[in-house]
Amino acid sequence: MTPPDSIKLAIVGSVGIDTIETPRARREAILGGSASYGCAAASFFVPVGMVGVVGDDFPQAYRDLYARFGIDCAGLQTQPGKTFRWSGVYEQNMDCRRTLLTELNVFAEFSPDLPEAYRRVPYLFLANISPDLQLHVLDQMTERPAFVMADTMDLWIDIARPALDALIARVDLLTLNESEARMLTGEHNLCLAARKVLAMGPRFALIKKGENGSLLFSDQGVYIQPAFPLESFDDPTGAGDAFAGGFMGALAAGDDVGEPALRRAMRMGSVVASFAVEAFSLERLDGLTREAIDDRAACFQRMVHVG
């Protein structure tokens, strides 16, 4: 277990028990949640701490798995009751998913409290939870982190806009998928949508396009990060969180928040996400080596290099 005081990155998000059906398989009660995917992905680059909540039914095997990744769990509360559960089904093309069930359980009353050692971490990723809770975390920081990234979702854009606006003004980077970017800004064109996001405060807007990669916008222009082309994958769940976690981990490892460093970190996040989707849950990341990640990153570089 990493000692808390060396933690470079904290990730606040959900921990869930997922049931997932794809055209080829169905898996019940597997570990999921943005904090699980994000921390596991980040753990290949830096000591990372998880902030979240689970119920008293949370299996020891999943805690053991977190320990194998070296994830610090001082910020993972255990509350009486059941862990957050989600169930979804992917259609034939895997880019369209339907939620069958969402049981918030202990997540409904979640109030993230940062362990003392997390209040000075230089890198903070506020994964998708309510913007009020994201603000509550930010307020607990005793020093302004070097870099704060926030994710959100359509629900909060819809029902918690004032808090979300307040949050967006205080982060360095806001990440959204295409439809969220359009919903937040009212702009269909992603370049124009990103420009509106930047006008809300952040230095960077990172728009995720799933299997079509991602775009980083800043006043320096645009960076285009394609997705790594895979011959097969099992489960797209958590791809965006693995991407974001790998990105923040790589960024924290380099301790440089200039645009070139962000681009390199996006490449690494994209590689980690490409591994994550090859299997369900954290199964592919479990046992993955940094060497395998670096090898695929080098292979990726050859795929985007114009001769």
**Would strands 26-32 and 16-21 be described as parallel, antiparallel, or unpaired?**
antiparallel
Q: Which stretch binds its own copies (CB under 8 A): 34-42, 97-105, 164-172, 218-226?
A: 218-226
Residues linked to residue 18 through DSSP beta bridges, in sequence order: 30, 86
How many whole angstroms from its chain centre is CA 294?
Answer: 20
Cα distances (angstroms) measured from residue 29 to each of 16, 88, 133:
9, 12, 26
Q: In angstroms, what is the minimal distance from the CB of 266 to its own copies?
A: 8
Q: Which is nearer to its own copies, 111 or 220 (CB)?
A: 220
- Give CA torsion, residues 267, 268, 272, 273, to 10 deg: -30
Cα distances (angstroms) measured from residue 218 to each of 110, 212, 293:
33, 20, 27
Q: Which is nearer to its own copies, 142 or 232 (CB)?
A: 232
Q: In angstroms, what is the minimal distance from the CB of 166 to its own copies?
A: 28
Q: Which is nearer to its own copies, 44 or 217 (CB)?
A: 217
Q: Which residues within the stretch 196-215 sit at the binding site for its own copies (CB under 8 A)?
A: 209, 212-213, 215
Q: In angstroms, what is the minimal distance from the CB of 38 to its own copies?
A: 22
Q: Which stretch binds its own copies (CB under 8 A): 4-12, 43-51, 114-122, 230-238?
A: 230-238
* Position 254 contacts its own copies (CB under 8 A): no
Q: In angstroms, what is the minimal distance from the CB of 37 to its own copies?
A: 22
Count Cα neighbours of 144 within 13 Å in the Cβ-side half-sphere. 3
- Among 183, 252, 257, which Cα is nearest to 216's? 257
Q: Which residues within the stretch 100-119 sit at the binding site for its own copies (CB under 8 A)?
A: none
* Position 219 contacts its own copies (CB under 8 A): no
* Position 179 contacts its own copies (CB under 8 A): no
* Position 223 contacts its own copies (CB under 8 A): yes
User: For its own copies, what does the binding mask look like between residues 276 and 305, x meaning CB under 8 A?
Assistant: -------------------------xxxxx
Q: In angstroms, what is the minimal distance from the CB of 32 to its own copies?
A: 24
Residues belonging to the chain: 307
* Position 222 contacts its own copies (CB under 8 A): yes
Q: Which is nearer to its own copies, 1 or 224 (CB)?
A: 224
Binding site for its own copies (CB under 8 A): 92-93, 188-192, 209, 212-213, 215, 221-224, 226, 229-232, 258-261, 263-264, 267, 301-307
